[in-house]
A = this chain, B = another copy of it.
Amino acid sequence: MTAKATYHHGDLRNALVETATELVRAGGGESFSLRDAAAKLGVSANATYRHFDSKSALLTAVADVGAEKLGQKMRRKVAEAERQNERGDATTLAIAWFKATGRAYVAFAIEEPEIFRVMYGPHGVCQYARARAGQPPADPTGALILGEAVDRLVSAGVIGPENRAGGDVRAWTVFHGFSSAVVEGASYFPTKAARGQALEELLDFTLRGLGATMLTA
């Protein structure tokens, strides 16, 4: 933006996060190098230390914006689902909401596998939360929206109130497990369609596990 070709960069911090994100996306978090990122911005490697304590801290920032993007994606997909089912009853809507969160989570992991890996790797969101214990983790959005989705299932009577507590965590476990499996290649799906179908079956599986008897949306 205000990129003056001068000694001072202007907004190096954000530029670094952005470039680092790009590099991670391209080559993975393992091969990412501080010097590369700096060089790509025409800046000396040590300049980064004015904005981040370490390479790890920069990767943590990358993970943070990743977490935020994930949250946004979940919000967006849920809003979209709501729009498409605006004429449906509460049950349909609640199920659509819930499934949208799961689809969004998995979709993010598929679109941004390397970022996803960093987010849940040693520099990621969780480590971040642990390091600054007391402060909230980087992405409350995702967790909150999932909690809200489960609340809606309860309100609509899709699942019993006894399944509210911990329901969001269990759902997250499934979504994350599937995403992780896909990203790491643990579960191989020959086609996109096969993977999609597996996900849909998994969503039904999850709803059933939460105590739902009605699964369609």
By a beta-carbon cutoff of 8 Å, the part of chain A in contact with chain B is 28, 30, 117, 120-122, 124-127, 129-130, 166, 169-170, 172-178, 180-181, 184-187, 198, 201-202, 205-206, 208-211
**7 new A-B contacts at CB < 8 Å, known A127-B185, A208-B210:** A28-B122, A125-B186, A129-B185, A166-B201, A170-B205, A172-B177, A208-B209
Task: With both chains docked as a complex, state the minimum distance between the C-beta of A62 and any C-beta of chain B, in angstroms.
Answer: 16
Quick check: A177 and B166 within 8 Å, CB to CB?
A: no
Residue on B with the closest CB to A210?
B205
What separation, in Å, do the CA atoms of A177 and B130 have in the docked complex? 19
Q: Given A205-B209, A208-B208, answer yes or no on A173-B184 (Cβ-Cβ < 8 Å).
A: no
- Report B-chain residues with C-beta under 8 Å of the C-beta of A187: 169, 172-173
What's the least CB distance linking A186 to chain B, in Å?
5
CB distance from A206 to the nearest CB of B (A): 6
- The answer to whether residues A185 and B30 also contact, given A178-B177, A180-B180, A208-B209 and a CB cut-off of 8 A, is no
A177 and B182 CA atoms in complex are apart in Å by 12
> Contact: A169 with B185, CB < 8 Å?
no
Q: Which 9 A-B pairs have the closest CB atoms?
A: A177-B177, A209-B209, A173-B177, A205-B209, A126-B185, A176-B177, A126-B184, A208-B209, A126-B186
B contact residues around A28 at 8 Å (CB): 122
